[in-house]
Amino acid sequence: MGLLVSVMRIGLAQINTTVGDFEGNKRLILDAYRNLVADGAELVLTPELAVTGYPPRDLVFRSGFVRRSEEVIQELARETGEVPLIAGFVEHNTKERGKPFRNAAAVLRGGGVVAVRHKSLLPTYDVFDEARYFEPADEVSPVVVSGLRLGITVCEDIWTDEYLPRPLYHVSPPDILAGQGIDLLINLSASPFHAGKPGVREAMMCAVARELRVPIAYCNAVGGNDQLVFDGHSVVINQDGSVSTRLPGFVERVAHDNLRETTSETEQIYQALVLGTRDYIRKCGFKSAVIGLSGGIDSALTAVIAAEALGPENVTGVSMPSRYSSEGSKDDARDLARNLGIHCHTVPIEPVFAVLKDQLSGVFAGRPEDLTEENMQSRIRGVIMMSISNKFGHLLLTTGNKSELAVGYCTIYGDMCGGLAVISDLPKMRVYEVARWINREKEIIPWPSIEKPPSAELKPDQKDQDTLPPYDVLDAILELLVEQHLSVREVAERGFAEETVRWIARKIDLNEWKRHQAAPGLRVTTKAFGVGRRIPIVQRFTP
């Protein structure tokens, strides 16, 4: 519980909801409410849209979805006593005009609904598309509870201009509420993670508390839903901007005066990937995963994340050596599996490759071997991995990183096969950084996997850098092109060779079609190749 300058004891229900699981979400809310009340809470908060899960997206249009959301709020209300519960849900817009639904927060107490407040600011940038569904609040006003004036806001409502991509809104709900006089500013949130965001978010709320001279209670969602990972880090902030309570990130937690130190950005990225992997697999109904182990760093990191997320007994690695696989790579794959304690099989692809080449020899007569034969090997591996996935009910995890996906250094229907692309939003240099962090105390990922030059091993003496710029250069340019949306000229003006920048920009555009067919990936940067990026496949704009 957070003690807010003697205002009241706030219970933060930092819970992991599932989109559309009304019964499961209701149980989570009620369990948290009862536990917090038993521990002395005088007010309990849930995250944004805790009843429906966030984001429900077009499920809101399905018959009965929003009606069930409204019914659950009434059912929750009947379970409340004198301690108020504020819960997020979707309700119908009863006005004749406007979008059909509202993003709402209900104040529940004594068996009934005391008040409902609506979200005012509806983001439509990056991964958000709320104006597609919701009508904004008609007015902003406090709610009086236990003699205190509470200002209730929902997620985006509390974000100030300097922390947004640009000034987006003409009103500030916290300013309006503070102008009417409030004792406590409340924010129910479903704020997704990306690297660096927890610190920025907390700094923003501390600044709002200081400016308005009002304490803040902020309850954020935790857990993975599709490509988004919600990191929690719920906080209670005093009116002077100091942090009273900070819940840990990436875990469900019912607050009990828990002030935790913040973790490093690298550790947060790792925790986000573990949480996102665990929730995606389990919420989709799977219990186990299978991964192709090449002996390289990308598959090694993916395997570590999977073993942490599911338990090593629920992870199977498959080594698929070819005529081009080095003995070192085979050893590294075997050593990784042993270090993690995961199951491991070896299925050589050479016999299948030889037969396939022979089968196609007539069709390919007179043509030299080229990229086709490299891709054949990757696609043979894809068939093997999908077959094992089908036979044993494992979810296949792909192992490509963001740098490769950006420029198409991956094989469609080959190494891109799978149900979840765990590290597809992690640039290669970040892959190295996280891998070294994993090995900070002892060797888990074999050091040769980290230190050797990366290679697809699809032809003799192949190295990634034969085809790609050095990864430190590639990643720096990708950040400027993809995350900051700069032009080729603007990137080149920052000291990069224009020919290299233009080559990378062209590769990004040419491979948009591949990414549209890729497995969903977990978002950990400010701009992932996924739901928050909408580039046409067919287009002729030259930056």
Tens of pLDDT along the chain (543 residues)? 444 445 689 999 999 999 999 999 999 999 999 999 999 999 999 999 999 999 999 999 999 999 999 999 999 999 999 999 999 999 999 999 999 999 999 999 999 999 999 999 999 989 999 999 999 999 999 999 989 999 999 999 999 888 887 788 899 999 999 999 999 999 999 999 999 999 999 999 999 999 999 999 999 999 999 999 999 999 999 999 999 999 999 998 876 556 666 789 999 999 999 999 999 999 999 999 999 999 999 999 999 999 999 999 999 999 999 988 888 888 999 999 999 999 999 999 999 999 999 999 999 999 999 999 999 999 999 999 999 999 999 999 999 999 999 999 999 999 999 999 999 999 999 999 999 999 999 999 999 999 988 777 677 777 777 788 999 999 999 999 999 999 999 999 999 999 999 999 999 999 999 999 999 999 999 999 988 888 888 888 876
pLDDT at 2: 41
Cα separations (Å) of 517 from 129, 223, 292, 412? Answer: 22, 25, 19, 8
- Is residue 48 part of the annotated active site? The answer reads yes
- Domain extent listing, the chain: 2-262, 273-464+512-516, 469-510
Q: Is the separation of the CB atoms in 227 and 530 below 8 Å?
A: yes
pLDDT at 6: 52
CATH of 2-262, one of 3.10.28.10, 3.40.50.11440, 3.20.20.80, 3.60.110.10: 3.60.110.10
Q: Which of 26, 42, 48, 457 is catalytic?
A: 48
Q: Which of 26, 42, 91, 119 is catalytic?
A: 119
Q: Which of 155, 344, 410, 417 is catalytic?
A: 155
- Secondary structure letter of residue 259 according to DSSP: B
* Token code pair at residue 526: 């400010």
pLDDT at 68: 97
The edge-to-edge listing of strands for the beta sheet with 235-237 is 143-145, 148-154, 184-189, 216-220, 235-237, 243-246
> What are phi and psi for residue 12, nearest 5 degrees?
-105, 115
pTM score: 0.94
Burial class (CB within 10 angstroms; exposed 0-12, middle 13-18, buried 19+) of 213: exposed
Topology of domain 273-464+512-516, per CATH?
Answer: Rossmann fold (3.40.50)
Q: How far is 199 from 188, CA to CA, in rounded Å?
A: 18
Q: How far is 481 from 195, CA to CA, in rounded Å?
A: 18
* Token code pair at residue 202: 């907390």
Tens of pLDDT, residue by residue over 392-409, are 999 999 999 999 999 999
- Is residue 499 part of the annotated active site? The answer reads no
- Is residue 155 part of the annotated active site? The answer reads yes
Tens of pLDDT, residue by residue over 267-316, are 999 999 999 999 999 999 999 999 999 999 999 999 999 999 999 999 99
pLDDT at 455: 74
